[in-house]
Every structure is written in C-alpha cells, then in structure tokens.
C-alpha cells in the first residue's frame, strides 16, 4: 500500500507540473497541439450559443488589424478575471465579500489545515479463512427397540485472530481572506471540522503525528482586486498602449502582471487540490485497513477522479468576420446585457472604440461574451449538481464529502483556466510570428540579417564598409601575401567563414610608429596607417569565432606583429612571427564586451566617491587598451635598404634572399659583414648584388668551415675514445668477429651512437661525444654543411662509416661580440649610416601629399563611449576589447615536394617565433637606428551591438526593427572613424529624410 501511494503521489505531481503555465517571458512556451484541441472543443459549445449564421473562428483565420490583437488580449484577460471570480464564488468569495475588502492594502487568500490523531483502543478480531476442517464422530447406540451405530460429521472453519488498533483522526481546514498582515482579523470564507476512525493492523504505530499543522497556502489577490470596480462590479483590465514599456500584446507590464497572477493562482489551486487528493486521501484515509472489511464510504475516496474537463472554458482567442453594413449590435445580441440575462457577479466593459471601429471589429460583442460567460456558469452548476447526487447527507460527517469534492473540482477548473489563458496569450505571439514568416518566406536568423546589412550598408553609406582582407604588396609589385580577419558564425542554418567588414580610413600622420623591441632598441616604422572600425552585432543563440589570418606566397616573406596601441604613435607588441614560402598562420581572437556607458553609470551611482574614482580609472584603462594594432613589415625592401642595394635589387634573387635571412635569423650575423662596400655608389645593380653575394658566400664559407672543423675534432675525439675502449678489452673478446675482428669492431663503434656503445659495454675514455647543439647553429643543417662533414669524415678514416647526422657542428667563430653587430645610432664606424629623417623624407617624396593629422588612437574608444551615451538610448552598443589567444595554428610546407602540414603553436612556440622575429627586426633596423618604410599598421577598434534575443524574437517579442538599430550604430561608428558628420555619410537624400525621422539627434 505504501509503495502504491508513493507511485500515485509521484505521478500526480508530474501531471500537475505539466499543467502549470510557462512564465518565462523571454521564451514563452506555446503547445500548439493541445491548444487547438481545447479550442475545437470550446468552439462546439460557442456554435450552440450563437446564432446559426455566425461563424466564430480562431483569430488567425479572420482578417484583422494589429490593434485588434491588443483588443483580443484585453477581452481574454477580462473574461479570465470573470471566470476566476465565478470559481471563487462557491468557495465563499462572494460579491458581498469583494465589496468589503480594502483595496488600499494587500489582500491574501489563505488555505490552512491541521490534523490530530488520538489512540482509542486495541481490539482482537477473528477473521475467517478459506480453509475448513471436517471432523467425523461414530456413536454406538443400544436400546430395547434399536441396536446399532450413528455417524456425526462436523465441519469447522479456520479463523485468524488479528489485532486492530483504532485511531481517531480529526481533520480541520478553512479558506479565508485577510488584508495587509492582520491574519487574526481574517474573514473565513469556508471551513470544515470532521473526524473519522482509522483502523490499522499489526502495529500500534499511529498513521500520522499526534498533532500536525500544515503550512498555510497563500496567494495574493491584490492585482485581482485592482482590476475590479467593486462599485459597478465590472472587470476593467486594459493594456496601456501608450506606455514605453509596451512592446506587443503579450510583452507589456499589464499582461505580465496578469500572467504572474494566473501562474500564482494556478499553483495555489494545485497545492490545495494536492492536499485533499494526496495528504488527506492517500496519506491518511487510505491507511484505514480494518480486518473486518472496508468502510462503507471508501468508494468515494478516489478524489483524483473528480475533474473539471466537462466544464466549459470561456477564455478563447476567437474572432469572426464583420462588415461595415452589418446590423446594429443589439440585433446581433451585442448590446448591453440586462440584469436578468447576466448570471456572473462581474460584467464586461467595452474594450473597443465606438462608431465604425466597434461595428467592424472582428471581436465578439459584449452581448455575445455575456452569453459565453453565462454558459460557463451553467456548466459549473451542472457539475456541482452531479457531485451532490454522488454523496449522501450522512457523508457530511466524513472528512471527504461533497464539499471536498466540489473544492477539488473547482481547483482543477481554476488551473485549467490559468493554463488556457497563458496558452491564448502565447497564441497571439505565435500568430504574429507565423504571419511574419509567411510574409518573408522563411525564419530569419543572424546570418541572413548579416547578409542584408552588408548589402544595405554598401548602398546606404559613402564610403561603405570594406572587407578586412588586404594584400601585402609594394606598389606595382606582385603581392607577398594576404592579411585578413575572418569570422566563423555558427547558427541554426549557417556555418561559414568570411572576412569581416570594417569602416576604414587612412590616417596621414606626421609621427613615425614606435615599436619597442627591448629596453635598448625601439623600432621606427614610417609606413602607412589605417584606422578600422569593426561593428559587429550579436544575437542570442549565435556563437561566433574570429581569427586573424596571414598567408605568405611562395618565395615571399614578411613579418606580422600584433599588439596593443598605447598612444598615438606607439605599439606595444605582444606577438610576432615571420611568414615565408606559403606559410599560413591562424590566430584566434578573444573578444570581451565592456558594459555600456549607461550601465556603467547606473552601477557606480550608489558607490562612494573613492570607489567611483577607482571604477572610472579602471574603465578608462579598459577603453584605452581596447585598441588592437596589427603591423605588417616587408622584409625584402628593408634588406635592400640595409645592405645598400637599390630598390628591387633582391626581387629576383630568391636564393640570396633565403641565405641572407638564414644568416640574420639563425646566426645573427652583423649586417656590416654583408652590406655593399664598393668603391663607388654609381655601380650597376648587378655589380652591387654580386658584391653582396660575395660577402654572403664568404660568411657561409666561414660557417661551413667552422662546422667542418668542429666535426673533425669531434670525430677524432670519438676515434680516440673507441681505440682506448678497444685496447682495454681482452684479446679473446674479438675472437667472435673472426679475422679482422678488431677492425670490424672499430668500424661498428664509429658508426654507433654513444647510447649503443654504452649498452655494448664499451666505455669511452675522457669526454664522450658531445650531442648538444651549440648556440647559433641552425636546427636544419644546410646541404653544403652535410657534404663537407661527410668529406671530412671520409678523409679521417677511409675504412670507417660516415659519422651520424646527430652530431652537430660547433658554432662559427665570432669575430666580435653579438652586441657589436647592433650598431647604435650615430656610430661613426658604420659605413652605411644615414640620417633617419632623410630616409623618411626620401621615401615619402612623390607619395600622397595629403595633410598630416595626429590621431591618438587610444582616445577614440573614449570619444565613442561619449557618443554612445548621448545617442544610444537602448544601451545596446558596447565597447569591445580584442586580444589574441595563445593557441595558434600554422600551415607550413617543409619543401617543394612535400604537402602542407598543420602544426599547433603553444605559448612556448609563440614566444620562440617572437624572439626570432625580433632578432630579425633588430638586424634589419640596426637596433632601431634605421627606419623601416615598407610597413602597414592596421588599428582596429571594435564595437558590439548586442541584442538580448534572436532575430525573430527581437522583431516579434521585443517589437524592435534590428535593421533600424544597426543603421543608427553604423552611422554613429562611421562618423567617428571618418571624422565627418553622420548625415554626410548617407548617399541617397531620400534615405537621409527617412533616417532623420528615426535619429533626429544624430542627423541634425
């Protein structure tokens, strides 16, 4: 029995929870299937109520205007209030009680119950069993008239003696209403005080505690009473369509409060019903288990079977077609209902304007709705009469009677009314969505809107946004590579990758860009500078990934430097990498949205002055550090300048370029050893290139010679160690090798790595063969080094095998300290030292002669923050910081015959690449004394327009046109980037007139 009760309780709780309305205003749940089944059932009754020629239907099937949806919401809410009043009336909340309640105070409906359990007696009863015992007795009789014997058979039934424990259970409950917090002055609406005998077997454990007070169940009626005019006894709910908080017929303050009340009332009704169905019936009365048989009233204990499915539900979103030449409302039954026609305590008021608007409105008239409400009351009365017929007068003394059954049915009907109201309001929003989808032809997601915004901005703005995809090239030259920022947007119907769009302007500044390489040297860049404004929009349920991608072409090279702008002409480099020969690097970007200006001010409003100053200082730092700088530095032009070669001298010298980069990167050779040092500056390009080739070959020969010398020394040391180890072995150790065993052993020892020699028992005397890589030696040896090493090894011992490739050569001898290669500015010994100012002027001569302007890029986010605070009243625009993530991916082709391989670069690998790039930059700039002209700086400032909903939810639920919002954001951002008024950016005068009505302050 206990297990059965638990299963019953669990099942009932699940059923009740499924019936609760969903009150998440952001994602309103609408069960279309169950809703349509309920409407079809209600329509059968409505068709019987109205005239035959009438044709009521769901609102979606009737032509109507947008304002009619507000009228429908008002009508359904008022009908829901009246229907709930009809349910609360039998509970004791009559019109007299309603008029006596104080509206100035909060009013609460309260249900409370208590139970007591008292032991009465212990009894032992005999319970007959199915088994029987037959006893046969033979008797002999002798008399004067009869001599013989008789047989007597006795059948006995087996009985079981069972102990019964009798408990008297006293149940008391009441429903009351009170104002404010004065519970003692409550008005009791209905109450019951009954008792019954509960008999249990086998154990004296009481069926419930001696005294138990259940937690009172309360629901606020404050909002409910505010919607009722107790003098006229009318329901007066109406949506305030003029309020700024009103978005749609569902998304407004009045309907939200109505849904909140319906939700709370549904929970209260469910918990009251659960008390009688679960606590009273299952936990108390079903424990009655007498040995002599069930009580006579047990057949009425199944309260869960009493439901309100047969009661008519008047809350339905119905409309009907009406024409302007229709008959007057009183003929249609739509006039004010007389007192004799109205059965409800409350009556409706007109929610539609008068005149033609009322005559042509597709909503039901007041008279029609009065008939519908009267049918609701009639169906309730029929259900109550059915309950009365099922119980007798003597059942009133029991804990379960017609009063409890009526209460259970009314609570069930109140739940159904609340659920129907919530579904009907959700249906209005669902209908709006279906109509919009039918008009467009599809559900619009973030990817669809992004395509439209790109297309629309290209027509609207002048200059329009451009894709962030830039070729890395010199004028009139083939590109060396491509730099782009690509977004990977994942949505319900989109999964693609494409470059982002930015507002871009070239900034002609008089200052050179400074990039600190170390504490001793600072790089000076005199190339072009571009300011980019990246406006992104983000909807809910849309995940986005952005990546900075740089690709180099075959036989081309350049450097990528990424960092944060710390001033008008200074870049703090965070990462750097060299790309060459079809390399491709993918750098993930991390975007962090800062609170909007309005949110920031609202958050610090209640802080102390010290706390506010701290927050403002920290936000200022966040805004200033949100500017991303991406710098591209071309290597070949700077090599030509560094080595004293004319422009384009290395364009076709692929091998020489590769050798020079290897010498600078791997060996850090001073540029003085490689630069042109001819007798005259008027020499031809070929002569200058040959001069540099000669110097490069000389340095490479020194490197190869040093490698060969070190390899020869290591080979000799290894030979001596092997000979010593062989000499220490006894002669018979080599007998297993046959004739010439010692010579074979030596050959094997020369070719074997040290770990193999150690395993074989050969111990090298002195120092072992070194396998550590000397500083400055490249990881990948050059071809000529391998050949030279092999030749030396063969000359050392023609009978021995070549030395293993694992042996590394020592570093080349350095003629001067490494610091000497980084000649400081103004060094008189540097033959190619030039005036940086002259270099800058000579490079810019004949170029763009636009007037220079000094822009402090770190102040642009602050300026934008002020503009956003002034023009963005929705607080949707947010400054966004852009940082790189230490999880790069590089695609590299090791040689021309191999395929591209993908490699993951961790933090240590990224740091190593940065050190290589900085070493090359230090060499190319002579430790910062030689400016670099062939460079590009891309300054990126990001703003995010955030929507709290998805695209369809923004249009349907928030009643917001995202296109107009994004137009305002684009105009504001483009104005700040281009430094012109927003109205000057609009291409078409007609568009300017249209947008001036939406953003008058921005376009004034």
pLDDT digits (tens, 9 = 90+) for 751-805: 554 444 444 444 443 333 333 333 333 343 333 333 333 333 333 333 333 333 3
DSSP H or E run through 141 = strand 107-142
Helix (H, G, I), strand (E, B) or coil at 616: helix
Strand 211-213 to 543-552 pairing = unpaired
pLDDT band at 457 (very low <50, low <70, confident <90, very high): very high
pLDDT exceeds cutoff 50 at 616: yes
| Contact status, residue 106 vs residue 222, Cβ threshold 8 Å | yes
Tokens found for residue 432: 């709006």
User: Rg (Cα) of the chain, in Å, rounded?
Assistant: 47
b/e map of 287-317 (b: 16 or more CB within 10 Å)? bbebbeeeeebeebbebbebebeebbbbbbb
Tokens found for residue 785: 């080094």
pLDDT exceeds cutoff 70 at 477: yes
Q: What angle do CA 801, 802, 805 make, to 5 degrees?
A: 135
* Cα–Cα separations (whole angstroms), residue 739 to 733, 735, 799: 12, 8, 16
pLDDT exceeds cutoff 90 at 156: no
Which segments within 492-623 are labelled E, that is strand?
494-499, 501-507, 513-516, 522-525, 528-538, 543-552, 557-565, 571-580, 584-593
Tokens found for residue 868: 């956003």
pLDDT exceeds cutoff 80 at 689: yes
pLDDT exceeds cutoff 80 at 686: yes
Peptide bond into 463 cis (omega under 30): yes
Contacts with 999 (C-beta within 8 Å, 6 or more apart), sequence order = 871, 967, 968, 971, 982
At 141 the pLDDT is: 62
pLDDT band at 613 (very low <50, low <70, confident <90, very high): very high
404-417 mean pLDDT: 95
Query: What does the pLDDT look like over 731-745, one tens digit per residue?
Result: 665 555 555 555 555
pLDDT exceeds cutoff 90 at 561: yes
Closest CA to 509 of 531, 529, 532, 533: 529
Backbone angles phi, psi at 428, to 5 degrees: -60, -45
Q: How many angstroms separate the CA atoms of 593 and 878, rounded? A: 6
Query: What does the pLDDT look like over 535-551, one tens digit per residue?
Result: 999 998 777 899 999 99
Higher pLDDT, 346 or 59: 59
Tokens found for residue 939: 């300054």
Q: How many angstroms separate the CA atoms of 243 and 251, rounded? A: 12
Higher pLDDT, 469 or 390: 469
Closest CA to 879 of 568, 546, 593, 569: 593
At 994 the pLDDT is: 92
DSSP track, 552-581: E-TT-EEEEEEEEE-SSSBEEEEEEEEEES
Q: How many angstroms separate the CA atoms of 832 and 723, rounded? A: 54
| Contact status, residue 808 vs residue 774, Cβ threshold 8 Å | yes
* Cα–Cα separations (whole angstroms), residue 360 to 213, 319, 773, 888, 968: 57, 11, 94, 67, 39
pLDDT exceeds cutoff 80 at 25: no
Which residue do the tokens 């982002």 mark? 500
Q: How many angstroms separate the CA atoms of 673 and 493, rounded? A: 60
654-670 mean pLDDT: 88
Percent of the chain topping pLDDT 70: 77
Evaluated on CA atoms 550, 556, 557, 558, the torsion sign reads negative
Which residue do the tokens 């809910």 mark? 540
Count the neighbouring beta carbons within 10 Å of the beta carbon of residue 738. 8
At 510 the pLDDT is: 85
Mean residue pLDDT across the chain: 81
Q: How many angstroms separate the CA atoms of 286 and 279, rounded? A: 10
Length of the chain: 1004
At 801 the pLDDT is: 38
At 130 the pLDDT is: 67
| Contact status, residue 622 vs residue 881, Cβ threshold 8 Å | yes
Tokens found for residue 727: 């000499």
Q: Name the DSSP letter for residue 894.
A: S
- Strand-pairing partners, residue 894, are none
At 795 the pLDDT is: 37
Percent of the chain topping pLDDT 90: 52
Closest CA to 414 of 235, 215, 224: 224
Query: What does the pLDDT look like over 267-291, one tens digit per residue?
Result: 999 999 999 998 888 888 888 888 7
């Amino acid at each position: 029995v206990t297990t059965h009760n638990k299963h019953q309780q669990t099942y009932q709780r699940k059923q009740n929870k499924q019936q609760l309305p969903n009150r998440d205003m952001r994602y309103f749940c609408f069960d279309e299937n169950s809703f349509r089944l309920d409407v079809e059932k209600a329509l059968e009754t409505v068709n019987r109520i109205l005239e035959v020629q009438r044709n009521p239907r769901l609102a979606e099937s009737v032509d109507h205007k947008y304002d009619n949806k507000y009228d429908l919401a008002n009508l359904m809410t008022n009908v829901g209030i009246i229907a709930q009043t009809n349910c609360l009336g039998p509970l004791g909340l009559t019109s007299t009680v309603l008029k006596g309640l104080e509206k100035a105070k909060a009013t609460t409906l309260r249900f409370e119950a208590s139970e007591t359990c008292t032991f009465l007696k212990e009894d032992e009863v005999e319970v007959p069993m199915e088994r029987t015992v037959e006893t046969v007795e033979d008797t002999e009789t002798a008399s004067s008239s009869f001599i013989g014997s008789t047989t007597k058979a006795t059948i006995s039934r087996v009985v079981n003696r069972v102990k019964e424990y009798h408990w008297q259970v006293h149940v008391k409950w009441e429903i009351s209403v009170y104002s404010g917090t004065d519970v003692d002055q409550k008005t009791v609406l209905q109450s019951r005080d009954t008792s019954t005998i509960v008999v249990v077997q086998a154990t004296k454990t009481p069926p419930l505690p001696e005294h138990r007070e259940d937690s009172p169940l309360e629901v606020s009626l404050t909002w409910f009473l505010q919607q009722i005019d107790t003098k006229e006894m009318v329901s007066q709910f109406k949506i305030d369509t003029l309020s700024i908080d009103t978005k749609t017929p569902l998304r407004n303050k009045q309907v939200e409060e109505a849904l909140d009340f319906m939700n709370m009332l549904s929970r209260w009704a469910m918990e009251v019903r659960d008390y009688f169905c679960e606590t009273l019936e299952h936990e108390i009365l079903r424990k009655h288990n007498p040995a002599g048989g069930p009580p006579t009233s047990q057949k009425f204990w199944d309260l869960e079977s009493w439901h309100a499915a047969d009661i008519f539900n008047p809350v339905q979103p119905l409309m009907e077609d009406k024409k302007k030449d229709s008959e007057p409302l009183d003929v249609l039954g739509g006039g004010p209902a007389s007192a004799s026609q109205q059965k409800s305590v409350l009556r409706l008021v007109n929610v539609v304007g008068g005149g033609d608007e009322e005559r042509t409105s597709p909503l039901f008239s007041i008279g029609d709705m009065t008939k519908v409400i009267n049918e609701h009351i009639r169906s309730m009365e029929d259900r109550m009469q059915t309950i009365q017929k099922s119980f007798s007068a003597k059942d009133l003394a029991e804990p379960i009677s017609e009063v409890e059954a009526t209460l259970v049915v009314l609570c069930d009907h109140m739940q159904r009314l609340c659920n129907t109201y919530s579904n009907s309001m959700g249906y209005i929003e669902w209908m709006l969505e279906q109509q919009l989808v039918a008009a467009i032809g599809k559900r619009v997601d973030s990817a669809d809107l992004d395509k439209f915004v790109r297309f629309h901005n290209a027509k609207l703005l002048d200059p329009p946004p451009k894709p962030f995809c830039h070729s890395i090239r010199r004028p009139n030259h083939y590109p060396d590579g491509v730099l782009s920022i690509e977004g990977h947007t994942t949505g319900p119907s989109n999964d693609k990758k494409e470059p982002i769009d930015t507002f871009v302007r070239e900034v002609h500044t008089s200052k050179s860009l400074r990039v600190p390489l170390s504490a001793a040297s600072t790089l000076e860049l005199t190339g072009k500078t571009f300011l980019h404004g990246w406006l992104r929009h983000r909807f809910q349920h849309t995940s986005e990934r952005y990546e900075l991608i740089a690709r180099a072409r075959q036989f081309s090279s350049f450097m990528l430097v990424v960092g944060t702008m710390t001033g008008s002409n200074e870049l703090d480099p965070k990462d750097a990498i060299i790309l060459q020969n079809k390399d491709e690097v993918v750098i993930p970007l991390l975007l962090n949205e800062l609170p909007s200006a309005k949110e920031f001010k609202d958050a610090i409003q209640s802080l102390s002055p010290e706390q506010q100053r701290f927050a403002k200082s920290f936000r200022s730092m966040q805004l200033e550090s949100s500017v991303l700088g991406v710098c591209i530095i071309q290597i070949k032009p700077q090599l030509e300048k560094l080595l004293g070669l004319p422009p384009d001298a290395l364009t076709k010298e692929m091998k020489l370029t590769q050798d020079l980069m290897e010498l600078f990167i791997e060996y850090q050779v001073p540029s003085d050893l490689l630069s042109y040092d001819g007798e005259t500056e008027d020499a031809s390009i070929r002569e200058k290139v040959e001069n540099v080739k000669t110097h490069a070959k000389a340095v490479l020969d020194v490197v190869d010679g040093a490698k060969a010398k070190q390899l020869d020394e290591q080979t000799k040391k290894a030979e001596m160690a092997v000979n010593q180890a062989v000499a220490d072995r006894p002669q018979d150790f080599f007998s297993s090798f046959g004739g010439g065993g010692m010579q074979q052993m030596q050959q094997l020892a020369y070719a074997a790595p040290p770990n193999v020699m150690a395993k074989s028992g050969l111990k090298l005397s002195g120092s072992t063969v070194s396998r550590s890589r000397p500083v400055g030696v490249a990881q990948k040896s050059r071809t000529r080094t391998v050949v030279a090493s092999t030749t030396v090894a063969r000359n050392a011992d023609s009978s021995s095998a070549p030395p293993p490739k694992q042996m590394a050569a020592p570093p080349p001898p350095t003629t001067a300290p490494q610091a000497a290669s980084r000649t400081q500015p103004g060094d008189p010994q540097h033959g190619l030292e030039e005036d940086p100012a002259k270099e800058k002027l000579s490079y810019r001569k004949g170029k763009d002669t636009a007037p220079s302007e000094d822009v402090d890029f770190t102040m642009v986010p602050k300026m934008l923050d002020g503009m956003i605070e002034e023009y963005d009243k929705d607080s949707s625009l947010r400054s966004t910081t852009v940082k790189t993530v230490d999880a790069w991916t590089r695609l590299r082709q090791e040689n021309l015959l191999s395929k591209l391989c993908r490699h993951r670069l961790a933090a240590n690998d990224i740091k190593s690449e940065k050190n290589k790039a900085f070493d090359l930059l230090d060499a190319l700039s002579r430790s910062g004394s030689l400016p670099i002209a062939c460079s590009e700086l891309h300054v990126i400032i990001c703003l995010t327009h955030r929507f709290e909903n998805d695209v369809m939810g923004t249009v349907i639920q928030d009643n917001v046109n995202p296109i107009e919002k994004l137009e305002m954001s684009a105009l504001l951002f483009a104005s700040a980037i281009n430094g012109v008024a927003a109205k000057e950016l609009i291409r078409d005068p007609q568009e300017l007139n249209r947008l001036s009505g939406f953003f008058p302050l921005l376009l004034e």
